[in-house]
Amino acid sequence: MNCTHWEERIALYAGGDLPAAEAAEVERHLGDCPGCQLFASGLKESLQLLQGIHQDPIALAHFAAVRARVMAELEGSLQPWWRKAWMYGLAVAVAAALFLMLALRPAAPVHPKRMAVQVLLPQVDVAPPEPVVPRVIKAHGVRRPRVRPPAVVPRAPGPPIVVKLLTDDPDVVIYWITDNSGE
């Protein structure tokens, strides 16, 4: 039986939304039509399922968060005018005080510092590096020159490098000492 035209009425009937006379008419049809009976019971079941899920508890924290946000906003907006004025006044006073401090600060003479840098390198005997000798290797009958990578010779750590910074002030000399590990 093609009962498409019954669908809307059965859907309303399933949720109790039909007036008595129309509901009775639907019930008569359901009595004669197994397909619509199945349709109606499916509608009722799915509605009951959703209604059950809708009643599932929701964590109280979600409600509390909303309440806190609303109350914070209301408390902020309901602050008395004199308190807001006091806050603004304080902020303006602090800003003005800072401005005055900066503006009225006695100008100190500025001496550009000149520095002389002197690097004190210790005398160390360093052997000259070995010359790189191209080596000829026979491979597949073709002679190809190959460059041997330079041998890595570990160097003994040398004495530290001392940098001496001479300032304008004869009493101030800055020494910078760095490790000369040879790496």
Partner 1 sequence: MKVLAFLATIPIEGPDERAAAIPSAQAGDLAAFEALMRRHERLVLVTALRLVGNMADAQDVSQEVFLRLYRNLDKVEEARNLPGWLYRVTVNASHDVLRKRPAADPMEYAAHVPASGLDPQQSTAEAERRRVLEMSLRLLSEKERAALVLRDLEGLSTEEVARVLGSSEATVRSQISKARVKVKGFVERYFRRRT
Which span sits near partner 1 by CB under 8 A: 38-46, 104-112, 114-122, 135-143?
A: 38-46
CB of 89 vs partner 1, minimal distance in Å: 25
Contact between 162 and Zn ion (CB under 5 A)? no
State which of residues 3, 11, 43, 47 lies at the interface with Zn ion (CB under 5 A): 3
- The residue range among 6-14, 111-119, 152-160, 169-177 that interacts with partner 1, by the rule CB under 8 A, is 6-14
> Which CB, 42 or 122, lies closer to partner 1?
42
Within 13 Å, how many C-alpha atoms sit on residue 180's CB side? 14
Assigned token pair, 153: 């010779």
Q: Report which of 5, 62, 1, 53 is spatially closest to residue 31, judged by C-alpha positions.
A: 1
Query: Applying CB under 8 A, which part among 48-56, 99-107, 118-126, 164-172 lies near partner 1?
Result: 48-56
Residue span binding partner 1 (CB under 8 A) among the ranges 28-36, 73-81, 92-100, 119-127? 73-81
Name which of residues 74 to 113 contact partner 1 (CB under 8 A). Answer: 74-75, 78
Strand partners for 136: 145
What is d(CA 10, CA 33) in angstroms, rounded to the nearest whole number? 12
Please, which of residues 14-43 interact with Zn ion by CB under 5 A? 33, 36
31 binds, among Zn ion, partner 1, none (CB under 5 to 8 A by kind): none
CB 179 within 8 A of CB 122: no
Separation CA 112–CA 116 (nearest Å): 13
51 contributes a contact to partner 1 by CB under 8 A? yes
Q: How many residues bind partner 1 (CB under 8 A)?
A: 38
Query: Could you tell me which of 139, 141, 144, 180 has the C-alpha nearest to residue 163?
Result: 180
- Alpha helix (H) ranges present in the chain? 7-14, 20-32, 34-54, 60-77, 81-103
Rounded Cα distance, 177 and 121, in Å: 11
Residues at the site binding partner 1, with contacts judged by CB under 8 A: 7-9, 11-12, 14-15, 17, 39, 42-43, 45-47, 49-54, 56-63, 65-67, 69-71, 73-75, 78
